[in-house]
Chain A
Amino acid sequence: GQQLNQSPQSMFIQEGEDVSMNCTSSSIFNTWLWYKQDPGEGPVLLIALYKAGELTSNGRLTAQFGITRKDSFLNISASIPSDVGIYFCAVFTGNQFYFGTGTSLTVIP
């Protein structure tokens, strides 16, 4: 299967700080997605990226589709306690989705 490497694996930040995480692959993909998963729930789609170089925002979240089509970045500005959770990147190959290993975010009030 496809390997999506996310970094960092976990983050502990103060409320109000900005957050950056990324996702890399050895293969090229044409669709990159970012999900957030809260404990006991299924992942929720945050941002979908369909074009290399694309920069897309959703409120305080901004994601970019890397020019090489082998990576993507997610930034969260001015973090708040409800940003706590696990963030997954995912790609779509045409008939299935592959998910990354996840970045666990803890926000300290």
Chain B
Amino acid sequence: DAGVTQSPTHLIKTRGQHVTLRCSPISGHKSVSWYQQVLGQGPQFIFQYYEKEERGRGNFPDRFSARQFPNYSSELNVNALLLGDSALYLCASSLVLGPYTDTQYFGPGTRLTVL
């Protein structure tokens, strides 16, 4: 079975532009979470979606938004890019909400560079 897939693998943008990152969860998984990982740090939680509804939001500005589609895939959108948005963006999927009966599986990430 395929794991969590993310696209694109790498992306270069300039300040002020907009970016859309995509994630396909493991088949059957209904929850998708997004994380930002700046070099040398641990992943920082951005959003969690379950059954197409936002269930959790981290401490990120409104320039960050996301959505989950009926097939449970998800998009992360970032507007008005800043240099500080350069990071590895990770998507994780899980079968249900919360960690008790399942674990979250991470994709390989999208490396975003803002120039």
Contact = CB atoms under 8 A, between A and B. Distances in A.
A44 interface: yes
A41 B45 contact: no
Interface stretch (B13-21, B36-44, B69-77): B36-44
B33 interface: yes
Given A33-B99, A42-B92, A92-B99, A99 B44 contact: yes
B100 A43 contact: no
Contacts, number: 58
A97 B41 contact: no
Interface residues of B, number: 26
Contacts of B108: 40-42
Nearest to A94: B98
Q: A interface, how many residues as a size bin?
A: 20 to 34
A44 B107 CA distance: 9
Given A94-B98, A96-B48, A96-B56, A45 B41 contact: no
Interface in B40-91: 40-45, 48, 55-56, 58-59, 90
Given A48-B99, A92-B98, A98-B45, A42 B4 contact: yes
A64 to B, nearest CB: 17
What is the predominant secondary structure among interface residues of chain A facing chain B? loop
Contacts of A96: 33, 45, 48, 56, 58
Given A33-B99, A95-B48, A42 B106 contact: yes
Contacts of B4: 42
6 closest A-B pairs by CB: A42-B106, A99-B42, A95-B56, A96-B45, A96-B56, A45-B103
Interface of B: 4, 33, 35, 40-45, 48, 55-56, 58-59, 90, 92, 98-100, 103-109
19 contacts: A1-B59, A41-B106, A41-B109, A42-B4, A42-B106, A42-B107, A43-B106, A45-B103, A45-B104, A92-B99, A95-B48, A96-B45, A96-B48, A96-B58, A97-B33, A97-B104, A99-B44, A101-B41, A102-B41
